[in-house]
Amino acid sequence: MSDKFYRVITHKSNEFEIFDGSETLTVKARGKLKRDGEILVGDFVTVEEKNGEMVIKTVKKRENSLIRPAVANIDAIVLVVATQPKIDYFLVDKMIINCKRMGIECIICLNKSDLSREIFDELTAQYKNEVSAIVAVSALNNEQSELYPYIKDKLVCFAGQSGVGKSTLTNSISGTDREVGKVSEKIGRGKNTTTSASIIITPSGLWIIDTPGFSMLDVFEEDYRTLAGYYDEYVSLADGCKFHPCTHTSEPDCKVKRAVESGLLNKDRYERYLKIFEEQKIAYKNAVRR
C-alpha cells in the first residue's frame, strides 16, 4: 500500500498543519526533518505514528522551492509591490531571477493603487517582457479583480517587502482575517507582522499563500556567467553579440550594451544587472573556494 500524502499548510516552530483534501492534522517533525528548511509550506509529506503521536515520516521530492519566502511546489509568485514602503527594485529583480531558475511563473502586483499608481509605468517599462503580467490592485478597497485570471487553478504565493499589503490582499481575496500591520512613519517600512507562510484555501477554491515580508534576497550559488540567462530581453539579443556566451558586462561589440545605449533596453535595470552580476561573482567564487 502506498502512503497517503498530506500537504503542509503552515507551521509554527516544530508544529506542522497538514491537509489531505478534507482533513487537517497537526503533527511534528523528528530527527533530521526538524532542521530548518527540511519541511516547507507546500511540501507533500507522509506521516507515521511514533510513541503515540503522529509525526512526519517523509517529504516528497520537490518540483521547486524558494528560500525566501520559504515555500515549495508552487505554481506562481505574485510579487506584491507598493509606493509605500518604497519599492526596492533590486528585490524585484532578484525575485524574478529566483522564479525563473525554479520555473515558477511570476506576476507583479502593484497594491495600494488607491494611494498612487505612479510607479505602474515604471514597472511596465522595466518588467513587461520579463513577467506574465503586471496588474494594479487596491486590497484596502477590495479591488483585485485584475489578479483573478492569473491565480485560478494554481497554488499561488504572495511575496514581497514587509508592509506592501500581502496579508490585506490575501484577506481580501479569501474573506479571512489574518493579522495586518502598519507601515512605520519613521522608517517607512512594515513591521514583519506575518511570521510564517500559510496556505489559505478560499471559499471559491483558490489556493493562496500569505508569507512574511523580507527586505533582502541572497544571490544563489550558481555560476555568475549564467545570470544573463534569467533576463529574457538579454537572451533574445544575445545572438547578436560578438562573443558566445556573452555576459553583456565587459565584452566588446555587445548587442545588449548597444541596446541599453540606444534606449531600447531599460538603463536602470541594466545597471542593477551589473551590480547583481558582481554580487553573484563574489558569492560564486567564495562557494567554489569552500
Site stretch for ligand GTP (CB under 6 A), options 13-21, 22-30, 110-118, 281-289: 110-118
Amino acid, res. 275: K
The SS3 of residue 59 is strand
List the one residue out of 41, 54, 80, 43 whose CA is nearest residue 196. 41
* Binding-site member from 126, 144, 171, 194 for Mg ion (CB under 5 A): 194
Start-end of H helices in the chain: 89-102, 119-127, 148-151, 166-174, 232-237, 255-261, 267-289
Site for Zn ion (CB under 5 A): how many residues?
A: 5
For ligand GTP, what does the binding mask look like between residues 127 and 156, x meaning CB under 6 A?
Answer: -----------xxx----------------
Residue 110 near ligand GTP by CB under 6 A: no
227 touches 277 (CB < 8 A): yes
Residue 162 near ligand GTP by CB under 6 A: yes
For 4, which DSSP code? P
Burial class (CB in 10 A: 0-12, 13-18, 19+), 22: exposed
Residue 174 near Mg ion by CB under 5 A: no
Residue with cell 515580508: 213
* Binding-site member from 77, 119, 246, 265 for Zn ion (CB under 5 A): 246
* Binding-site member from 7, 166, 257, 269 for ligand GTP (CB under 6 A): 166
Residue 167 near Mg ion by CB under 5 A: yes
Residues that bind Zn ion (CB under 5 A): 241, 246, 248, 254, 256
Residues that bind ligand GTP (CB under 6 A): 111-112, 114-115, 138-140, 162-168, 180-183, 190-194, 212-213
